[in-house]
Structure 1
């Protein structure tokens, strides 16, 4: 009887693919971003138009990624596409930013959001101690890392449950809004453009907040190698997920506006006040449903981002150890543990807002660069086999819109832009020292450390295709 090959299994179908995309997108954004969008646009119809436009933009980006994901059918997502289109250094800089800032800071924020919502119904009249929040957030990150490392199939099954719970929470919000409007609560839509702000920079910030709530549509591409029949299931998961997300987000925001009005959404946490006004006795259930929604998003984020780290290590852009797979569970355990440790460090600061501000522009730049790979590869490698070939206007519109949105923060948030650029450029000397040249002392230390961790994680290098 032959031994099982050390390789991540193809065990994700269409339902799991949809659950991964919805699990990432339906995170905390829809519960916290409406306030920022209405604040920057100034009017009901202005805010709703931003949510609709962001949905269209995300769909165009996702369709472009469907071409990339089926043409360059390896795990790694943005990292893999940037590496194939633009070379080693830009791909490394993406990994540098993602693994040290984007991924762990997002994990920290989502885990803290989960802790706040799970504690709120337990201690409704008490101030939550920050240390308590952080401890619960840390335990949550560690637990989800464990189940992701132990059994990928079990994790995806749990993710299916999370997906339906999230949709249920949003359906409850939409239902509450429909009942409210059926009772005559439509006055906030009668002069819906009143108060619209003329500032382009304000509207660009509103777009960023909306896009943040849609972010995650590209994360299934990180796990292409684990999808069954990826040429079919990857695009189908995208086609099903994005229109559903756009419709649900629009209807949820219509409900927020109907019940709270623009002033109410600006003044407080939308989900909390909405639950009190529209849902009656069910208001006590909403924090729990939001907590479950965020927990599911965090689980998927941990799972998918580890594949990006794994793909980078496999190409020599990260320490060799991170390209190893646990021989029993067939999961990238070293990558999962590495990202867990960096995420726990991100819980130490009391305020992550400034860090996230720095990252937003840089992350948007790399997303734009990834999508532009569709255009560059059409020119550079025209004979490349493309199972799915989107119309060129889709990536052109997406890239052009994102470039315009990137220009505005240079004027409105110059400190954030400079800080993000410096943070990225700091990876250049690291690349030339540790990736390209890799001195002998570094190689020796890396080999010894890898051997120790191989025994600790029971891991080995992935078997090559025969």
Structure 2
């Protein structure tokens, strides 16, 4: 049939459109939905207003150290793909695969689940002013949102990027409004909670373990500082622009996040912030009067755009991993007409919905932040390893060795005490990551698989192509070694 001719032609010259290759780099930024999610968790673990603000400032400083190391890696190994590309190049396929495995199964789906739950809470909270929204309603709305945006991303790259452009306004509006209103409150003398005597009144005895968990909560809001490394090949003059982006963006983000938290504390007591399920909504209800509706709408717009952006980037990572042969070839295919990576999007959607059904926001943040930091540390350790093994390698940017060493010391302390304080939540992520070891050796390393297994994979891939109406894009590396050739050798 005509369909069989189309679908069997795995090497048809369908190129990925430019917007698919470049949109992610344009819209990736650090300031995201995390600032509307993390303040409660940071304060809860820090135990005082003053220490929570210190965590926010130091969190920005740690991100600066990490991003300087990533800048060196970005120009030394000029490949798009971030951590995955660097670790694969330095330590080999197994470690790179484990990072990819954890990103596909943990990092992106969990982040998507957290943002979707936040969207749901902010949409529903105005209707339940004196109590938390029903648990089932929150989960259901979050799931519907993820399913809808998956459909949008499957249907059109242009629609997805337009949504991202439009809904970024919500994020900016909410943050600007919070900071301005907070400054007005401070000018009026409403800063009792910020005075040193009150700011360092601890609700619990401070401990290194709890402070480590506070940093994990803050790191969720800062996640994104390394996203520019995912599109290094598309950055103009990376030697100049990578450091410039670091020195401008991260201090600015740190200032915005710190001012946002100061604004919260100018109008809310620590007890009010901790008891709120939607901090920005509570802030708006206290200060904006009849215009309090602006806040939940703005945050909902921001989180809606955040879900869309993470769906785009997570599906792109699956797509890249499949092109490298680390994931099933089906995930490297795009729709015959829309040029969207439907199989990769469906995988991300499925993993997110599963996590939505079993997770709770606070634990999910610790869960994903622990794995994120684990990945950052392994990548930066790779920088030191590369310095030792290949000292003569050309490095257009070369940071002082104290920077990666300082980062790794902080990294080791943070992960060690986080694992001690939350062994189940943090340990589960490590267990899931390690399940990728047998998968790698069976799926990637084992080259002499039985012919019947190749035929089964080919058959399942073909069925998936028919269901999703997808083919390999032009110049896909897997085209040079089709499955049929392997099965008939």
| Pairwise same-fold verdict (TM > 0.5) | yes
Mapped pair 1:298 → 2:307: yes
The offset of 1:250, in angstroms, is: 0.6
Return closer, same or farther for 1:319/1:11 CA change in 2, 3 Å cut-off: closer
Decide whether the 8 Å contact of 1:16 with 1:157 is kept in 2. Answer: no
**Aligned match for 2:276, one of 268, 274, 296:** 268
Residues 119-150 of structure 1 show CA distances to partners (whole Å, capped at 9, x for unaligned) of 33466578744444334323322332233344
**Aligned match for 2:463, one of 446, 452, 457:** 452
* Equivalent residues in 2 for 1:174-185, closer than 5 Å: 174-185=179-190
Mapped pair 1:161 → 2:166: yes
Q: Distance in 2 between matches of 1:127 and 1:246?
A: 30
Return closer, same or farther for 1:104/1:40 CA change in 2, 3 Å cut-off: closer
Q: Where does residue 75 of structure 2 map in the other structure?
A: 70
The offset of 1:185, in angstroms, is: 0.9
Q: Where does residue 21 of structure 1 map in the other structure?
A: 29
Give the root-mean-square deviation of aligned CA atoms. Answer: 3.0
**Aligned match for 1:209, one of 217, 226, 236:** 217
Residues 37-93 of structure 1 show CA distances to partners (whole Å, capped at 9, x for unaligned) of 223323322111110000111122223223333333333222112111111111122
**Aligned match for 1:189, one of 168, 176, 194:** 194
Return closer, same or farther for 1:223/1:75 CA change in 2, 3 Å cut-off: same
* Equivalent residues in 2 for 1:18-167, closer than 5 Å: 19-22=27-30, 25-27=31-33, 29-121=34-126, 128-167=133-172
Q: Where does residue 484 of structure 2 map in the other structure?
A: none
Decide whether the 8 Å contact of 2:101 with 2:436 is kept in 1. Answer: yes
Return closer, same or farther for 1:375/1:215 CA change in 2, 3 Å cut-off: same
The offset of 1:18, in angstroms, is: 6.0
Q: Distance in 2 between matches of 1:133 and 1:460?
A: 38
Mapped pair 1:258 → 2:258: no
The offset of 1:233, in angstroms, is: 5.6
Residues 231-265 of structure 1 show CA distances to partners (whole Å, capped at 9, x for unaligned) of 66655544443222111101011111111133332
Q: 3-state SS of the aligned residue for 1:120? A: helix
Please, what TM-score do these two structures have when normalized by structure 2?
0.84
Q: Distance in 2 between matches of 1:175 and 1:126?
A: 28
Decide whether the 8 Å contact of 1:54 with 1:207 is kept in 2. Answer: yes
Give the structure with higher Rg (CA).
Answer: 2
Structure 1: gaps of 5 or more residues: none
Segment drifting more, 273-282 vs 191-200: 191-200
Return closer, same or farther for 1:80/1:177 CA change in 2, 3 Å cut-off: same
Decide whether the 8 Å contact of 1:201 with 1:412 is kept in 2. Answer: yes
Decide whether the 8 Å contact of 1:220 with 1:304 is kept in 2. Answer: no
Return closer, same or farther for 1:419/1:140 CA change in 2, 3 Å cut-off: closer
Mapped pair 1:380 → 2:389: yes
* Equivalent residues in 2 for 1:318-329, closer than 5 Å: 318-329=327-338
Return closer, same or farther for 1:357/1:205 CA change in 2, 3 Å cut-off: closer
Residues 82-124 of structure 1 show CA distances to partners (whole Å, capped at 9, x for unaligned) of 1111111111222222212222222122222212222334665
Decide whether the 8 Å contact of 2:75 with 2:395 is kept in 1. Answer: yes
The offset of 1:461, in angstroms, is: 4.1
Q: Distance in 1 between matches of 2:340 and 2:231?
A: 12
The offset of 1:154, in angstroms, is: 4.8
Mapped pair 1:249 → 2:257: yes
Q: Distance in 1 between matches of 2:176 and 2:191?
A: 19
Return closer, same or farther for 1:464/1:390 CA change in 2, 3 Å cut-off: farther
Mapped pair 1:282 → 2:288: no
Segment drifting more, 3-12 vs 213-222: 3-12
Decide whether the 8 Å contact of 2:110 with 2:368 is kept in 1. Answer: no
Q: Distance in 2 between matches of 1:463 and 1:401?
A: 43
Return closer, same or farther for 1:358/1:112 CA change in 2, 3 Å cut-off: closer
Q: Distance in 1 between matches of 2:333 and 2:27?
A: 26
Q: Distance in 1 between matches of 2:444 and 2:361?
A: 30
Q: Distance in 2 between matches of 1:282 and 1:240?
A: 33
Structure 2: gaps of 5 or more residues: 1-11, 478-489
Segment drifting more, 320-329 vs 337-346: 320-329
Return closer, same or farther for 1:453/1:69 CA change in 2, 3 Å cut-off: farther
Q: Distance in 2 between matches of 1:12 and 1:235?
A: 23
Decide whether the 8 Å contact of 1:9 with 1:330 is kept in 2. Answer: no
Segment drifting more, 127-136 vs 364-373: 127-136
Q: Where does residue 404 of structure 1 map in the other structure?
A: 413
Q: Distance in 2 between matches of 1:229 and 1:327?
A: 34
Q: Where does residue 424 of structure 2 map in the other structure?
A: 415
Segment drifting more, 175-184 vs 111-120: 111-120
The offset of 1:230, in angstroms, is: 5.8
Q: Distance in 2 between matches of 1:149 and 1:137?
A: 18
Q: 3-state SS of the aligned residue for 2:18? A: coil
